[in-house]
Chain A
């Protein structure tokens, strides 16, 4: 079982992702939420044990590309999967070079989450 951190500026999307994780039957324990990269870093800094981060890219204050850069700069090796409407090759390449493990395009199905995340949790 793993604790999951969902970073997305849409509260609707955070709820959909939470529900989809449960529907996909993934071994999820506690789910933490953050509305942007800055809040995401605060959750991590609070000392909670996070087994997987799911992050949007296009967010106010601190976007997902900067967020993952900051996570890795702090020496954190937790898997980070981008869940985003931004499906462009170069953006995904940038996310991967910043340290992302994988990406999932919105809209998505619980089966797609299961397929991508099953091996990471």
Chain B
């Protein structure tokens, strides 16, 4: 782990590097996929079509949300790989798998934010899926958005973060 958990704030480059490391670790270990990261986006993506979004919130010394957004077609492949069985429809398994990926990403980021683990709490994952939806953050938190690709499929991992006073 390359970041210093005792640092009061993290630069966007540091957070981006950690998101990339955490995402690649989760995917290579639990999904048997090897995603490649692309250049970070300057602005968050808010509108999604035929997609699924998994989110986990942080509260405590730091507050924010880590989220993974991916097209349903890729989410079906991810779920099939995780479960070791074919998954070809949007169902509870799909929601659970994407929620669990968000949970593992949240756990990895939490470890950077809180060495001890008690001053930052993780929420239970939330999953949204639909043909056309928007996700908006109402806070003025810093935002890091990393696009990834796996073969021809693309997905996004985003992190909004605020250090509480």
A118 to chain B, nearest CB (A): 19
Which A residues are in CB contact (< 8 Å) with B30? 16, 106-107
Contact across chains for B124 and A106 when beta carbons are under 8 A apart: no
The CA-CA distance from A60 to B126 in the complex, in Å, is: 12
Contact across chains for B83 and A91 when beta carbons are under 8 A apart: no
Contact across chains for B83 and A12 when beta carbons are under 8 A apart: yes
B105 to chain A, nearest CB (A): 9
A18 to chain B, nearest CB (A): 10
Contact across chains for A10 and B100 when beta carbons are under 8 A apart: yes
Question: Contacts A12-B82, A12-B83 hold; do A89 and B115 have CB atoms under 8 A apart?
Answer: yes
Q: Which residue of A lies closest to B27 (CB)?
A: A107
- State whether the Cβ of B107 lies closer than 8 Å to any Cβ in chain A: yes
Best-surrounded residue of A13, A105, A109 (most CB of chain B within 10 A): A13
Q: Which residue of A lies closest to B120 (CB)?
A: A88
- State whether the Cβ of A90 lies closer than 8 Å to any Cβ in chain B: yes
The CA-CA distance from A11 to B127 in the complex, in Å, is: 14
The CA-CA distance from A75 to B38 in the complex, in Å, is: 53
Contact across chains for A87 and B100 when beta carbons are under 8 A apart: no
| Closest A-B pairs by Cβ, 3 of them | A88-B117, A85-B107, A90-B116
Can you list 21 A-B pairs with a CB-CB distance of less than 8 A?
A9-B124, A10-B99, A11-B96, A12-B93, A12-B97, A13-B100, A15-B82, A15-B84, A58-B107, A58-B124, A85-B108, A87-B107, A87-B117, A88-B117, A89-B115, A90-B118, A106-B103, A106-B107, A107-B26, A107-B30, A107-B104
Q: Which A residues are closer than 8 A to B by beta carbons?
A: 9-13, 15-16, 19, 58-60, 84-92, 94, 105-109
